[in-house]
A and B are shown apart, each in its own frame.
Chain A
Amino acid sequence: MVQVRLGGSLQSYSGGRGSFEIEGATIGQILAGLGEACPRLKPLLEQGVAVAVDGQIYRGSLLQPVRPDAEVFILPKLAGG
């Protein structure tokens, strides 16, 4: 199980809940598990989110492995100028 925390505005879509225990060894598996655990988040997760694993931000790497003790934050979709 990985402890997955919601960053930015995503808590507004989880009824204020900020943390989930999710089974998953990759970013993709964790996002899928999170969508199951919190269906209201699912459309946002499908639109695209950023995932911070141990402080490193991933925007497009569903296959990235995640250790069970990693710090995982799901962040809203971000873009620059």
Chain B
Amino acid sequence: MPLDQSAKPNAFSKVGTRPLRPDGIDKVTGRARFGADMNAPGMLIGRVLRSPHAHARIRSIDASEAEALPGVKAVVTAADFPDRQDEFRDVLVNVMARDKALYDGHAVAAVAATSAGIARKALSLIKVDYEVLPHVIDVEAAMLPDAPILHDTMFTKGVEPTPTKPSNVAARLEFGRGDVAAGFAEADVVIEKTFRTEATHQGYIEPHACLASVGSDGQGELWVCTQGHFMVRDTCAALLGMDISKLRVTASEIGGGFGGKTTVFIEPVALALSRKAGRPVKLVMSRGEVFRASGPTASTSIRVKMGIRKDGRITAGEAELKYQGGAFPGSPVEMGAMSAFACYELENVHVVGYDVVTNRPKQAAYRAPGAPMSAFAVEGVVNDLAERIGMDPIDLRLKNAAKEGTRSAYGPTFGPIGLIETLKAVKSHPHYKKKLGPNQGRGVACGFWFNFGGQTCVSLNINIDGTVALAVGTPDIGGSRASMCLMAAEELGIPYDRVRAIIADTSSLGFNDVTDGSRVTFASGMATIKAARDAVQKLCARAAAIWGIPEDAVVWEEGAARPAGPNAGAFPPLTLREIAAMAPKTGGPIAGHCEFNAENAGPSFASHLVDVEVDPETGRTTVLRYLVAQDAGKAVHPAYVEGQFQGGAAQGVGWALNEEYIYGADGRLQNPGFLDYRIPVASDLPMIDTVIVEVPNPGHPYGVRGVGETSIVPPLAAVANAVSHATGIRFTELPMSPPRVLHAMDARRMAQAAE
């Protein structure tokens, strides 16, 4: 049966409904087991010693006293991880510092002991001789010629000829097309501004946690909260020199990730401790460790210049982006650069980007990595262009919006996309007509994300009672098991609750890429559909054999095999349950499989609308109303699609208003806790309205697009545009925390008084 790539709107009986999630009862009763909820007989407790210095040479480590402490069963340092110079080099050095500690919190040693108290005591007995070095935290400062250099082997890539002097600029990128100078010359108004964003953390509520067990035969097991247990397996096996087949990784329930759990931190350390101690080791990060030593996102400095004609047509866009991604190359500047102007039809565009290293933790992906910052800058300028030419900001965006056939600013031509539909949804929403009061302002912004597919493997087994066991390899963070069950039930024509989806361990399925890039409902969903169609084909073949007619004379409709065609004969339908019951005596078990590389994920666009009120006495911003309109292609479980929209908006509001990494002059993180790193709480937010736009993705049989990441792209800009509207002051730096807003308003009052 060919995979039907055409979307079939209105033809669904399960997809698009809102059933209860299969893991729901476990999660409301406390029964669900997350990373730190697992124990093993004979288990030891692991703890990590971390550098208190932002930048220091490690002259020596003396762990002899710690090793001698009763109850200590293993101590590991970089010496326990063989050096390597391949693609795993950076993650190896990040997991355990080698010759230098590169940031406050960088792991330098770890212990396993019979209790947490003994492990803590052991850490205090490890003597590390540091030679403290000058450090650099700020992205612009790190690019200066006399900045302290993190890696004396780093020579800026992307520059010809390759520099001979080491630098903190890991790479320079440049792309564009058309003639921006001509574009600006054609413009009636040109605006150029520089924007800055601070580093923020994904802020998942569950700290990193794992339980490792390696036997004397070299075989290991790992229980871990991660977005990708196959990635964890392959990375840990490489760092520890194990055969991949000897390490079995089970993904626990995961308490949030947002990109931050797409790499390894403590997992190889726990395995190394367990291997050395010969006992299971549980290693759980504290919240302070999560902030200091996991993977927050980049801080940035972005200059944007755009020109517009009086009729509202944007004539050119230019951007220079500087992203620091912590102590190693790999800041998301490339994706920030490519997504910056993706919402607009632009003939003339030119973008330069810099990937910069600083003495901060190695950044990890954070929901649409790189895109929220560049959207903050570009959408801020678009807002001001609209103001300057006196055009409605939605009309201006509609006039320039990318659509099917538009050549994207980053290169390829877009297929069917839903940006215009989201803008129209916002414009026609009652929110857009609400009257604003004093000190209130309204902001609009758009956002784009690429979306990805990736390697995916699914197994679907028909049980003898007619129920279905669906094994998926992508950890479920936001309810994806419900979506998988819906799609399997849709294909098989059986009730939703007859399908039970689980996340299988690494030994039970072929390789699956990480749960990232908004890929799961798209890619694992497509694999589930393909596996179900594979099973249907086998169910039809079994019915054909039972009836003694050709396979192609059997069709599958409403959960049953039915004879079809002139020579099929008349037989009563055989339901899935009936065929399943006969399976043991008619050829054995029936299962469907799919292993493939999902491509053509189809981008998702969104438009956000927000109203705020700024208190002139305190500078505090209150979010009054919020609306998200986003293209989901086809919403499989609309309640969880809305949840993605609302959650992304809330995270973006936090990024815009409060969240930031604050470093002291000593290069140490000053706010490694939820009291001082303030994420939005329930009383900070209003209800978040949603409109699900459905422009089918031709790359998916049901038209599904990923939705998880786009929702965090517009809010930084939308909130900034609203605060700027409310105060009459253009804010170009995040977060717009009360002191910063108050300072700006005070400065204006002073200036007005002086006039």
Contacts and interface: CB of A to CB of B under 8 A. Distances in A.
Direct A–B touching, Cβ under 8 Å: yes
Interface of A: 5-13, 15, 18, 47, 52, 54-61, 64, 71, 73, 75-76, 78-81
Nearest to B202: A81
Given A57-B600, A75-B411, A80-B259, A8 B337 contact: yes
B411 A79 contact: no
A81 B368 contact: yes
Contact of B450 (A6, A10, A57): A57
B516 A81 contact: yes
Given A5-B411, A59-B452, A60-B599, A80 B519 contact: yes
Given A9-B353, A75-B338, A81 B411 contact: no
Contact of A61 (B259, B368, B415, B597): B597
A37 B48 CA distance: 49
Given A8-B411, A9-B158, A81 B259 contact: yes
A64 B597 CA distance: 11
B599 A61 contact: yes
Contact of B516 (A10, A75, A79): A79
Interface string B129-161: 000000000000000000000000000011110
B601 A7 contact: no
A56 B599 CA distance: 8
Nearest to B177: A18
A69 to B, nearest CB: 13
A57 B698 CA distance: 12
7 contacts: A7-B412, A8-B411, A12-B158, A56-B600, A79-B452, A81-B260, A81-B517
A6 B517 CA distance: 22
Given A8-B173, A9-B353, A71-B412, A78 B599 contact: no
Given A8-B334, A56-B699, A57-B450, A80 B369 contact: yes
A54 to B, nearest CB: 7
A80 B449 contact: yes
A11 B334 contact: no
Given A9-B173, A59-B599, A54 B451 contact: no
Nearest to A56: B600
Interface string B170-210: 01111101000000000000000000000000100000000
Interface string B234-277: 00000000000000000000000011101000000000000000
B455 interface: yes
B174 A11 contact: yes
B494 interface: no
A81 B258 contact: yes
Interface of B: 87, 157-160, 171-175, 177, 202, 258-260, 262, 334-335, 337-338, 353, 364-369, 410-415, 449-455, 516-519, 597, 599-601, 699, 709
A10 B177 CA distance: 13
Most buried by A among B369, B410, B414: B410
A62 B449 CA distance: 24
Contacts of A78: 334-335, 338, 450, 452
Contacts of B335: 78-79
Contact of B368 (A57, A58, A71, A80): A80
A57 B412 contact: yes
Given A59-B597, A79-B262, 4 more contacts: A8-B411, A11-B174, A71-B413, A78-B452
Contacts of B413: 54-55, 71
Most buried by B among A8, A11, A73: A8
Most buried by A among B411, B415, B516: B411
B168 to A, nearest CB: 18
Nearest to B297: A81
Contacts of B173: 8-9, 12, 76
B709 to A, nearest CB: 6
A9 B174 contact: yes
A79 B699 CA distance: 18
A12 B518 contact: no
A51 B365 CA distance: 21
Contacts of B599: 56-61, 64
A81 B412 contact: no
A7 to B, nearest CB: 3
A56 B597 CA distance: 14
A56 to B, nearest CB: 4
Contacts of A13: 158
Which 9 pairs between the two chains have the least Cβ-Cβ distance?
A81-B259, A80-B517, A9-B173, A7-B411, A81-B365, A52-B412, A12-B158, A73-B411, A56-B600
Contacts of A5: 411
Contacts of A60: 454-455, 597, 599
A13 B577 CA distance: 59
A44 B649 CA distance: 35
B519 A8 contact: no
Contacts of B87: 47
Most buried by B among A47, A78, A81: A81
B342 to A, nearest CB: 12
A18 to B, nearest CB: 8
A57 B259 contact: no
B296 to A, nearest CB: 12
Contacts of A7: 175, 338, 410-412
Contacts of B412: 7, 52, 54-55, 57, 71, 73, 75
B285 to A, nearest CB: 19
Given A8-B337, A11-B175, A12-B158, A80 B411 contact: no
A9 B415 contact: no
A61 B455 CA distance: 10
Contacts of A54: 412-413, 415
A75 B699 CA distance: 19
Contacts of A52: 411-412
A36 to B, nearest CB: 20
A29 to B, nearest CB: 17
A3 to B, nearest CB: 13
